[in-house]
Structure 1
Amino acid sequence: MWKRSHSVALGLLAGLSLLLLSLPDELATRVKLALSTLYLPLLGLAGATQQAGNHVAEALLSRRELLRQLETLRRENERLRIEALQAAEWARENERLRRQLGWQQTSPWRDRLRLARVTLQDPTPWWRTLQVDLGSRHGVRPGLPVLVPEGLVGRTQEVGPFHTRVALLGDPNCRVSARILNPAGDVGIVQPSDPLQPGWVVLSYLPRTAQVLPGQPVVTSGLGGVFPAGIPVGSVVDVHPVENGLYLEARVRLAAPIHALQEVWILWP
């Protein structure tokens, strides 16, 4: 069927060509002009359609390319953001270690201090302990003081070959003799306080005549032979009598941030 239509079209085209050739020149010119007037709009429409198709294809390709570039930029921005956060964290860690080392150089125990990294902290409020990455293989033994530049942290308790558990101030296994820096130098015992207040302890067994005021510093007394004298413990918050006024108790806010420790110093004897 298609071949028949094609043959008919070719025959018509050939006949039209012969007719044009047999016509006088003037009449042939007029017929050609009429045919060109008829076909030129159709040819223009076809060209415009092709150009519009080309523009649509280019627009689709441009949009796809823009989306690809946006996704590439988004990933690059996320990578740079993560790198910036890492760089800021490294800068904070370097500054913290620089302060730690600077404090060690000015400490009276600088030749007896060794830095340990905190690897685990007890999440329960009743037992205040943490774990560090030094153990008996490094010379650690139970009962050594643990401190940071701000003040006393606690003492070593359970020592393994490569790790040590530290009992923090406020833990029942870490009782410290401490002195208030007032004219009388009153001495008490650091004991646990409210479990929901990890940055606080109680200084018990103060003389009932002690002149204790809020804000007075508290340091280790040196009594008992475990902790050297003069290590900061904290400062007095308030004081009240207990046991029918037989002695006083003072609440003390700790100097060391025991709830946010990353490195500590172990003091060798």
Structure 2
Amino acid sequence: MKPRTSGSVVRLAAPLRALAQRFSFLLLVLASIALMMVGKIDALSVDNARARVTDAFAPILDAISRPAATAAHVVESAVEVRNAFEENQRLKAENARLLQWKQAALRLEAENTSLRSLLKATPEPPSTYITARVIAAPGSSFLRTLVVTAGRRDGVRKGQAAIAGAGLVGRVVEVGEWSARVLLLTDINARVPVVLEGSRQRAVMAGDNSDQTKLLYLPPDAAIQVGERVVTSGHGGQFPPGLAVGVVSSVGERGVRVQPNVDLARVEHLQLVDFNMPGAETEPSHETK
């Protein structure tokens, strides 16, 4: 009897299931319309019901999100550990290279001292410097200068080198009692004897009131490479040799262009260095009697 009863139940349920499937879409549409009408009629009740549903599901959603957040945190921590390990390895390698350079520098310093003592070379005069703050930047396309808060009372003299961190910026051209004016390397009136560090080719670096400088008096067959460092040559007695100036940025029809080491538009502090060069401009001291 049981198998026959179950078979009759299935035969009776089949038409009902087919009817439900046929009208399910219509029922859903009617339910949606009913909910919209209820929301229009009593919006406060709908908002309260929605808030209660949200409150009911919030703990469930929070519980579901915690494993995902934990997994994301674990993955992020693993990535940070890997990056820290790679950075540590890089710093170790860089430290080892710096130690090698330090040993080489110490060895060369000792060798240089020994050779100077054998040759009885004249030692270079000691240099002094003054740190000053820039209070006025270039304000014209025809003038590339800076004004600094140091003057004659601080020991500033015409011809002193102006240095900012990575290299030479220019030289002092005007000195007042409380301030001084520095002519930048990019000014059209600036001329600096330089040498290219790689090829040892000598030239004169000249400004043209642009953001870069150019090299003059190079031989036509000079093999200049982009990226070659440019330093002062020491000729003319204006600056000592070896001061970093810039890097060759381009070689072409416009000539050899040099990108200064220092962003001259963003200089905030300068060191006015007196190298006590015999050919440098000097200004008599004014003593109060």
TM-score by length of 1: 0.53
CA distance in 2: counterparts of 1:192 and 1:169, whole angstroms: 6
Counterpart contact for 1:109–1:267, Cα < 8 Å = no
Aligned residue pairs, count? 152
How far residue 241 of structure 1 moved from its aligned partner, in angstroms, is 6.1
SS state at 2:153 partner:
helix
With over 3 angstroms needed to count, the CA separation of the structure-2 counterparts of 1:109 and 1:124, relative to structure 1, is farther
Aligned to 1:21: none
1:113 to 129, 133, 146: 129
SS state at 2:246 partner:
strand
SS state at 1:212 partner:
coil
1:236 to 213, 229, 248: 248
Aligned to 1:73: none
**CA deviation profile, 1:92-113 (whole Å, cap 9, x unmatched):** xxxxxxxxxxxxxxxx999512
Counterpart contact for 1:176–1:191, Cα < 8 Å = yes
Aligned to 2:178: 162
CA distance in 2: counterparts of 1:256 and 1:213, whole angstroms: 20
**CA deviation profile, 1:115-174 (whole Å, cap 9, x unmatched):** 111111121122110100111111111111111121100000011111001000011332
Identity of aligned residues (%): 34
For residues 185-204 of structure 1, the aligned pairs below 5 Å read 185-193=200-208, 195=209, 197-198=210-211, 200-204=212-216
Counterpart contact for 2:189–2:207, Cα < 8 Å = no
Aligned to 1:134: 150
Aligned to 2:233: 221
With over 3 angstroms needed to count, the CA separation of the structure-2 counterparts of 1:133 and 1:110, relative to structure 1, is farther
2:197 to 169, 181, 184: 181
Aligned to 1:80: none
Answer with 1 or 2: which has the greater Rg: 1
TM-score by length of 2: 0.50
Partner amino acid, structure 1, of 2:205 = V
How far residue 240 of structure 1 moved from its aligned partner, in angstroms, is 3.4
With over 3 angstroms needed to count, the CA separation of the structure-2 counterparts of 1:226 and 1:166, relative to structure 1, is same
Counterpart contact for 1:142–1:156, Cα < 8 Å = yes
SS state at 1:218 partner:
strand
With over 3 angstroms needed to count, the CA separation of the structure-2 counterparts of 1:230 and 1:118, relative to structure 1, is same
How far residue 190 of structure 1 moved from its aligned partner, in angstroms, is 1.2
Partner amino acid, structure 1, of 2:207 = P
**CA deviation profile, 1:226-268 (whole Å, cap 9, x unmatched):** 11111111111122368xxxxxx31001101111011000111
SS state at 1:259 partner:
helix
Partner amino acid, structure 2, of 1:213 = Q
SS state at 2:215 partner:
strand
CA distance in 2: counterparts of 1:187 and 1:240, whole angstroms: 18
Aligned to 1:125: 141
